[in-house]
Amino acid sequence: MPAAGVSLSAFLLFGAHVRPLGWVVLAASLVAAWLLDRPSTRDAAPNVGPAPDSTPAPDGEPGPARGDHAKDLLLIGLGISIVSTTSMAADVSWPRFVAIGTALVLAVTVPFVVDRVVFRRRAIRFPWRGGRAWPRAERAYLVAVPLLGWLILPWYFISSGAYENWPHITDGSELARFFVGVNAVGTWDELFFICTCFALLRRHFPVWLANLLQAVIFTSFLWELGYREWGPLLTAPFALLQGAIFARTGSLTYVLIVHLLFDAVVFLAIVHAHNPDMFAIFLTTPGR
């Protein structure tokens, strides 16, 4: 399945760091999708419209037309390729701050512009409002997320040594850049992995399968960012939960608030791991 190949390429590029092979797998998957989307001679028609078996998209937009599978995977592949042009290892020095930020902005912007301008569609959207009030369970989850992070993250970062994958902050300027960077990357995660990758995959696959495919890409990226050692035991469920929540709520605002609440604790925990006297508010900090 070409979509599985695209997700595998992200694992090879960001998780296994096998860059030449990852690009080959990505290119081969996109070519395979294009070949599979080509109409056969007997069913080719001059007027190309929605495929006979197309179904409405989850957001109420028309279902995918013939050829959209290859187009949608191409958009995901563009984003993955752009991100892979530079290291995503956490670094708050000004040159790396700018390089990483530029790559991430382009990885969201280029697929969005291609979808609108070249393909003349609206398959990629950023639905800030889900069209309904948040029920009590969803409001309670907003409280539970930072509490769970407060309990789990210090133990993860310090016991595994993963905090060393982030730089040791030494002054106020670096601390400010780190705070901005953590929140910017968290926002980008939702724009790319959920509103781009997951939304495009949902046009062709059941929610559970689309969610699984995006979670592979999401978790692989977070591995390169620094969530290593046993980090995937946290990041993979988080990626799946974010996709499931978005599928249920249809609200970018909600999943973004969840993510930024969690990332606020990430910021505090990493800084505390490097500087035990700072943000000494955690109960599960292991002895060092």
Residues 267-288 have a mean pLDDT of 91
Residue 285 within any structural domain of the chain: no
Query: 133 vs 277, which has greater pLDDT?
Result: 277
Torsion, Cα 171 172 175 179, to 10 degrees, reads -170
* Helix (H/G/I), strand (E/B), else coil: 141: helix
pLDDT digits (tens, 9 = 90+) for 233-247: 999 999 999 999 999
* Banded pLDDT at 11 (limits 50, 70, 90): very high
In a domain, 100, yes or no: yes
If one compares 230 and 50, the residue with the highest pLDDT of the two is 230
Question: What band does 132 get if pLDDT is binned at 50, 70 and 90?
Answer: confident
> What would the pLDDT profile of 190-218 be if each residue is shown by its tens digit?
999 999 999 999 999 999 999 999 999 99
Domain count across the chain: 1
- 52 in any annotated domain: no
Nearest-CA neighbor of 240 among 220, 262, 211? 211
- 111: domain range? 2-38+64-274
The per-residue pLDDT for 130 is 67
- Taken as a whole, the chain contains a residue count of 288
Instruction: State both tokens at 268.
Output: 């505090």
Structural domain includes residue 288: no
Min mean pLDDT across 49-53, 163-167, 184-188 is at 49-53
- CB-CB contact of 73 with 3 (8 Å): yes
pTM of the predicted model as reported, rounded to 2 decimal places: 0.91
CA–CA gap between residue 134 and residue 58 (Å, rounded): 19
Check whether 50 has a pLDDT greater than 50: no
pLDDT level of residue 288 (50, 70, 90 thresholds): low
Domain assignment of residue 46, yes or no: no
Residue 48 placed within a domain: no
CA angle 246, 266, 154 (to 5 degrees): 125
Statement: residue 64 has pLDDT above 50? yes
| Mean pLDDT, rounded, of the chain | 91
Domain contains 226: yes
Is the CB of residue 211 less than 8 Å from the CB of residue 199? no
DSSP state letter for 285: P
Where would I find the H helices in the chain?
2-10, 19-37, 68-83, 94-113, 136-160, 172-189, 199-202, 207-225, 232-249, 252-274
CA 89 to mean position of chain CA atoms: 16
* Mean pLDDT along residues 79-84: 98
Q: Is the pLDDT of residue 135 over 60?
A: yes
- Answer whether residue 13 is part of any domain: yes
